[in-house]
Amino acid sequence: MSLFDLALIKKYDRSGPRYTSYPTANNFSAFTQTDYESQVALSNERQGPISLYCHIPFCDTVCFYCGCNKVVTKDKTKAEPYLAALFKEIDQQGALFDHSRQVEQMHFGGGTPTFLSNEQIMRLSEKLQSAFNFADEGEYSIEIDPRGVDEDTIKALAKARFNRISLGVQDFNEDVQKAVNRIQSFEQTKSVIDSARAHGFESVSIDLIYGLPKQSVETFKTTLKQVGELRPDRISLFNYAHLPELFKPQRRIDVLALPSADEKLAIFQYSMNFLLAQGYVYIGMDHFSLPEDPLAIAQREGHLYRNFQGYATHADCDIVGLGLSSIGQVGDSFSQNEKNIEQYYQRIEAGELPVIKGQLINNDDKIRRAVIMDLICHFELNFAKVEQAFDINFSEYFANALVELAEMHTDGLLVLDAHSIKVQEKGKLLIRNICMVFDAYLASSKTQFSKTI
């Protein structure tokens, strides 16, 4: 059966969260250092592994489609003061967590982490290793921009303990690249990937975007063929959401050059079929992986998880967010750092943790999060599992949601019976819509979300 059902996609065409967390970050409100510290104390009581997220906000050019929190500058001297502040934050955070707790995952994101020099990346990695207790075998990943990376950088990253890389590609077509201000050749990308594999990196991940200006099914076919040659372990295929009122760089995109809604769906459909035919597994929510990749294995074995970096294999980690705008998930809370770099510096200078907002997760949030997590990671939900974990009667607790789900059952998105929900092939692309039924915050939310497809 096909994943792609045009009539259903059009019927369920609406906007919604991507559920990298529940509650989603738009619900965060005031959250103090004291709130954060008491959640760290709670997490130390529970113990468990740690995942570190380190944000490097700088980019030396701006991609016009960008919706990230970044600082665009060609001035490399900006990196050192940032690192100095980040090191202070690492010292403070490292002192809060029990040293017996091991770091099993680390991710450097941005911005562009490879804006830092090889020596700066090395120093940052060493700093983290001195402040936290790293497991011998962990998943340590970094986002790199192939335009500024050579073999020496790859060697330095391997030395700094990274074993996974993630590369932004988006599209190899030159006209598309010019239209989004990101010129990056296939050869440049291939050489970085070849070098990473030669230096023992275990996994290569590539990001693509459909719906960019100047794209068509025909142009994207060539990009996909080239991606097929690179054979990354993981592929993210994101839908470009044109929201120029929210993201300033997008104002430089020529609206008239954007593909029509039908063309965009045709690109998506072609890409989906192409990747499946190439042997990739559809993990869910824009993500594909080779069947032997840990993500696909975790999904098959029932322990896939989703967090702010997308899908993850280590479900029980507390996430420590470090650096500008980073988000953490510690104890029963989410928390986010200052998004403004000057305010971030001021908070650090004052000897404070730069946490600015967050949310304590109540029991209802936990129940709904467990439901959404099972659906988005495994496409099924066993009611008895939720009833046992949270001591509720599922059909009473979710009486309203079950009414909405009945229509999705009739439409063939899922099979709903007295014991479970099983998402069907044609419901997998609409998993966000299915999760939204369980979201208690959506009705009162004023946030502008991207389209679910």
Nearer to ligand SF4, 168 or 328 (CB): 168
Q: Which of 68, 96, 402, 415 binds ligand SF4 (CB under 6 A)?
A: 68
Specify the amino acid at residue 270: Y
CB 218 within 8 A of CB 246: no
Of 440, 451, 452, 324, which Cα lies nearest the Cα of 24?
440
Cβ neighbours of 57 (radius 10 Å): 25
**Segment near ligand SF4 (CB under 6 A), from 58-66, 75-83, 171-179, 382-390?**
58-66
**Segment near ligand SF4 (CB under 6 A), from 3-11, 57-65, 84-92, 406-414?**
57-65
Q: Which of 94, 111, 294, 310 binds ligand SF4 (CB under 6 A)?
A: 111
Residue 368 C-alpha from the chain's centroid: 20
- Identify any residues that bridge with 237 across adjacent strands, giving them in sequence order: 208
Q: Which of 3, 25, 42, 62 binds ligand SF4 (CB under 6 A)?
A: 62
Number of helical (H) and strand (E) elements in the chain, helices listed first: 17, 20
Q: How far is the CB of 168 from ligand SF4 (least distance, A)?
A: 6
Q: How far is the CB of 232 from ligand SF4 (least distance, A)?
A: 17
112 is a contact residue toward ligand SF4 (CB under 6 A): yes
Structure-block tokens of residue 264: 């965009």
Which residues lie closer than 8 Å to 226 by C-beta, 6 or more apart?
172, 186
17 is a contact residue toward ligand SF4 (CB under 6 A): no
Specify the amino acid at residue 341: I
**Segment near ligand SF4 (CB under 6 A), from 62-70, 73-81, 93-101, 239-247?**
62-70
Query: Reduced to 3 states, what is the DSSP secondary structure of residue 7?
Result: helix
Specify the amino acid at residue 314: H
CB 144 within 8 A of CB 166: yes
Nearer to ligand SF4, 89 or 145 (CB): 145
Structure-block tokens of residue 278: 């190439």
241 is a contact residue toward ligand SF4 (CB under 6 A): no
66 is a contact residue toward ligand SF4 (CB under 6 A): yes
205 is a contact residue toward ligand SF4 (CB under 6 A): no
Structure-block tokens of residue 48: 């468990």
Q: Which of 63, 206, 224, 304 binds ligand SF4 (CB under 6 A)?
A: 63
CB 430 within 8 A of CB 3: no
**Segment near ligand SF4 (CB under 6 A), from 55-63, 209-217, 274-282, 365-373?**
55-63
Q: Which of 110, 138, 211, 259 binds ligand SF4 (CB under 6 A)?
A: 110
Q: How far is the CB of 221 from ligand SF4 (least distance, A)?
A: 24
Q: Hey, which residues between 70 and 109 contact ligand SF4 (CB under 6 A)?
A: 70
Cis preceding linkage at 23, omega within 30? yes
Place of tokens 């919604």: 16
Q: Hey, which residues between 153 and 192 contact ligand SF4 (CB under 6 A)?
A: 168
- Residues of this chain that interact with ligand SF4 (CB under 6 A) are 59, 62-63, 66, 68, 70, 110-112, 145, 168
